[in-house]
Amino acid sequence: MDPSFWQDKWHSREIGFHQGHANALLIKYFPSLRLHPGSRIFVPLCGKTHDIHWLLSKGCHVVGVELSETAIKELFEELNLEPSVTSSENLTHYQADRIDIFAGDIFELNADTLGAVDAVYDRAALVALPESMRKDYSQQVESITYKAPQLLITFEYDQNALSGPPFAISESMLKSYYEASYGIELLETEHVEGGLKGEVEAKESIWLLSPAN
């Protein structure tokens, strides 16, 4: 998927994927990660999600990566934070108290730049990518986080009835991306109230990915 796809979405304000509140499944199952205050949480393709507000309120240090600098600037504005901004060849780093967001392509982010993280929260990254990119994405996240545990959200629906993103991801697909490196536990599945984008019946699931020994 061309990075300009998401940049154009933000420019034209086609951001129906942006929720105006923290995700209920995150709130319910965050304790499954068994983290301590001050833990660093990586949120890939983070946009300006309110999940970041919630994670910060729980004492976490949030690290994200996002293609759209518009989304990043709006995130800091909504947090009432003035970030310091530094640029390298491929990424721009927005930093404030307990939050680091990198503007750019996640495939340009390496482990040294990201820094140590204790967990990954993926609500809108895997589901945003076409099937051809998901294996590479899953391997990239595993590599740069040194296989940190993950809370991951997916959707299931009739892909013929609605084009993504978010894309439909079955359990078998999920296992094909992660089973070699993680134990995979389904925590909960619920129906999407009103249907996905108000158009098609769908289920939303949250998974706990624990590093395999």
- Residues 93-152 have pLDDT tens digits of 999 999 999 999 999 999 999 999 999 999 999 999 999 999 999 999 999 999 999 999
Q: Residue 83 forms beta bridges with which residues?
A: none
Q: So what's the pLDDT on residue 88?
A: 87
- The total number of structural domains that make up the chain: 1
Q: Residue 147 forms beta bridges with which residues?
A: none
Does 6 appear as a known binding residue?
A: no
Q: What is the span of the domain harbouring residue 36?
A: 3-13+22-211
CATH code of 49's domain: 3.40.50.150
Q: So what's the pLDDT on residue 15?
A: 46
Q: So what's the pLDDT on residue 163?
A: 87
Looking at the predicted structure, is the pLDDT value of residue 18 above 50? Answer: no
Question: Using one digit for the tens of pLDDT, what is the confidence trace for 55-74?
Answer: 999 999 999 999 999 999 99
Looking at the predicted structure, is the pLDDT value of residue 28 above 70? Answer: yes
Question: Using one digit for the tens of pLDDT, what is the confidence trace for 72-89?
Answer: 999 999 999 999 999 988
Question: Using one digit for the tens of pLDDT, what is the confidence trace for 167-200?
Answer: 999 999 999 999 999 999 999 999 999 999 889 9
Q: So what's the pLDDT on residue 8?
A: 57
Q: So what's the pLDDT on residue 156?
A: 96
pTM exceeds 0.85 for this model? yes
Does 66 appear as a known binding residue?
A: yes
Mean pLDDT, range 146-163, rounded to an integer: 96
Looking at the predicted structure, is the pLDDT value of residue 166 above 60? Answer: yes
Q: So what's the pLDDT on residue 143?
A: 98
Mean pLDDT, range 33-54, rounded to an integer: 96
Looking at the predicted structure, is the pLDDT value of residue 1 above 70? Answer: no
Does 123 appear as a known binding residue?
A: yes
